[in-house]
Amino acid sequence: MSKPMYVLLQYCCPQRKITQFVGWLAECRWKWFKNWAIKRLIRKYHVNLSEAASENLDDYPNFNSFFTRQLKPECRPIPPGADILSSPADGCVSQIGKIHDDILIQAKQFYYTTVSLLGGSETLAHRFENGNFATLYLAPKDYHRVHMPIRGKLLETTYIPGKLFSVDQVTTQSVPNLFSRNERLVCIFETEIGPVAVILVGAMLVGNIETVWPMQHPRNEITTEHYANGVVLERGAELGLFKMGSTVILLFPKGKVEWESALQENSAVKVGEAMGTLRE
């Protein structure tokens, strides 16, 4: 299928109904089906089964339980040093760099704003003006749990309903304002360097986004939930997961992060790997 046709079909197809159907299949407990689907995923995407906490497929009741599998603890060590910013996910760096005023780059010739990404909150967007950002794409082969890049106290989450375009490279380079059009969950943490946003972006076939804390967001309107007592998560602690692949976007205040010089577009990263250095 040509790239233009692939993108056009995403505009035309019933994104949510397809995603709901695939989500239902991924939860099915038919042993023959889930084993077939898991083995096909492993073969097609060269999944490293040896890293999984369990290498026995019979331990996974459905496809989603394998897709969101936990890893052996030693596979993703957290680097020492309190000033190290660690990767929150296994994936590929889609874009990384500085926020210019409130403009972020999505792909070549495509830009979007922090205001639109954060659901229209100019007050919140202002806190990241001229700051730093990183966009990480999680492919089907990747580990799909998301971890804290820095120690933080959860202040609020905002659920923003939206489209469910794919977030693969072809679509990212073809659909304007992709990340501010798709469904997403914005998590704001209070940290030693100020506010940090961890944004989980939904996508085609992503059945659900889950967090380690309970949420009460309705699914049809922008809603913000505040956490008066705050959930404190250490650097490297799990904060949520994706059922099927998607994207994580990080936002930091101005002058608080210096990115690793080796990181660039298409760089591969894993949970715990150093992405940058924190500045006080």
Task: List, by residue number, the catalytic residues.
Answer: 90, 147, 246
Bridge partners (DSSP) of residue 113 are 103
Distance of CA 114 to the CA centre of its chain: 16
Spatial contact of 230 and 265, defined as CB atoms under 8 Å apart: no
The full 3-state SS of 247-275, as one line of letters, equals EEEEEECCCCEEECCCCCCCCEECCCCEE
Q: Report the distance separating Cα 216 and Cα 248, nearest Å.
A: 21
Q: Report the distance separating Cα 57 and Cα 263, nearest Å.
A: 35
Q: Report the distance separating Cα 196 and Cα 199, nearest Å.
A: 10
Q: Report the distance separating Cα 254 and Cα 196, nearest Å.
A: 11
Q: Which amino acid is at 198?
A: V
Spatial contact of 105 and 95, defined as CB atoms under 8 Å apart: yes
Using the structure block, give the residue that is written with the tokens 């089964």: 49
Q: Which amino acid is at 188?
A: I
Q: Report the distance separating Cα 24 and Cα 9, nearest Å.
A: 22
Burial 241-273 (b: 16+ CB within 10 A, else e): bbbbbbbbbbbbbeebbebbeebeeebebbbbb
Q: Report the distance separating Cα 93 and Cα 247, nearest Å.
A: 10
